[in-house]
Structure 1
Amino acid sequence: MDGDRFARPLLAWFDRHGRHDLPWQHPRTPYRVWLSEIMLQQTQVATVIPYFLRFVGRFPTLPDLAAASTDEVMAHWAGLGYYARARNLHAAARRCVELHAGDLPRDFDALRALPGIGRSTAAAILSQAWGDRFAILDGNVKRVLARWHGVHGWPGTPAVEKQLWALAEAHVATVPEGRLADYTQAQMDFGATLCRRARPACGECPVSSGCTALREGLVEALPTPRPGKALPEREAVALLLENARGELLLQRRPPTGIWASLWTLPQADTETELRAWFERQIEGDYDAADDLPLIVHTFSHYRLHLQPRRLRRATPRPGVGDNGDQRWVSRTDLASLGLPAPIRRLLDSL
């Protein structure tokens, strides 16, 4: 594939307009690159930067992360969303300590064997941390290649993804030696700032002369969108319980599923279930709880309508106390726990 039509002009654009001052670039270490790649999955750069700085401030090295508690890791991730990323990051750090002397391995298969690292993430780490010749295929790159080569079909299907991988690998083979890290960043920057999903800046595009979508009037149509599907709606109820000291009762979510391993309010899918839990745990009148504003939160695969209720001066039944997954927490200790963003906003509003 002719690198003069794609890779070289893209690198020239990156040298003038790319992002060269991102915090994970200075210093650019394998650990910082890996952390940034995980945080940037499904999340924009501007959102990630303050989380990244706070995270590396507390966990400056991979062994520091491996040695931390789950609560501490989740507390520093809370609000960034897609919490499986944090759990996988923590598990991968511990595995690196066990198997790789506390370092990320410079080996594609060994990286892919770590929790939370797929083909594109492993390639991004190797190319940016060590300058190795590997192609990436994140969402930005899929969009760029689908437009430039005129690839039809939703990129989430195996056949289309296979085609895009082949094109990505052909392009990366044309990149000059020593520019692999820059080329990887250039693709991500280009897709995020010019070849955007909506209102792409084709007039400023450094590779527009070879773009099939621009030539054939298909820029808005490519990449082919995912087939439409209505997002299911679900309802749930939660209890904000305060004891006489003003402490709040929190429960840790299970290690899998929505908000996994985070601390949140006692919650149930139905009023009947939550009432039954309350009667086992708390002395008092469930119906005396006040309604708080409805929380509507959209996950990747459904939209949750959560009705929180507040009951002050709640008293546990005799024999019911704190345990590993349920505890009364003072407001000053909330910052040390990982809470889902909508629950933290609710508590902050009170």
Structure 2
Amino acid sequence: LGSLRLYPKRGEYQLNAVQVLPAGEGLQALQYKQLRSRLENEGLFDLERKQLPPHPQIIAVVTSPTAAAWGDIQRTLKQRYPGLQVLLSGAIVQGDLAPASIVKALKRVERDDRAELVIVARGGGATEDLSCFNDERVVRAIAECDRPVVTGIGHQRDESLADLVADFSAHTPTAAAEAVVPDSQQLQENLHRCKMGLLESVKERWSIEQKQQKQRQEAFLTAIEERFAEERDRLQQLKLYLSNFPDRALTLQRIFSHQELLKEKLSALNPQAVLDRGYAVIRNQAGVIIRNPWDLDGEVELIVQLATGQLNVKVTEIPKVDDKKARDE
């Protein structure tokens, strides 16, 4: 900014500067681009991130104890998640000593080993004030931290290398505090809705169960009635059968009488019955029944079948008779 004077005779210009502003790509911007490209090639900006705990109980904050960011974070965490334990690891967050101080604060959190995650925060400011978060030492310390790191640096328009390497990046310290813990009031409302939804679900399920139970009862009663109807029909058939039983009984009696008559005839025809009366059956050794003495020839052995048992006899003499007369008789 200034004034311009022209000397026409000599063809010269004279510039009286009041204020000089840098323009174009300066040395700091060039160094930033080179460092960013190198870290990106190393994979420090890859999207693989540590998982943020859903309900942390202890959180560490790396920031200046006198900065407004520390007060904003405390107030936000207290409002959103009462009972949370917040640890401060103080650090210088502006100037030449800031990178080493931030790295030292992160290592302090690691040694303490109580916090479940870390918030690295600083309020807004000029670009030069936030340059410490583009320092390679700070970026590598965040990348090597064992626990998740959330950054809340500057304003929404600001983006540092620390934001790129962090597990989660928020635009402001307050937004970082909101990102690491849920809203307890919202949780209570969600819990209430869940309870109401569960209650409605239980009521609906109970109603369905009642309907199903009623249907089962009706089906059971229907099945019993059908069974009763079947048994009544069967009983009616039995009654009809019993009413006709006398006629059937007379027929059966006749059948039994005829059976006894047949038994008597069979008993009379039974050879054993004849033997029981004192008779005997004579057979030769081949089992042929001997009816006439002239069927024997000389001395032979015979088998005499009695009512109980048998006798083996030997014929020694056969009386001579007139064969023709005997046959005639």
Give the number of the structure whose alpha-carbon radius of gyration is greater: 2
Q: TM class by shorter-chain length? A: under 0.3
Structure with more helix by fraction = 2
Structure with more strand by fraction = 2
RCO higher in structure (CA 8 A, sep ≥6): 1
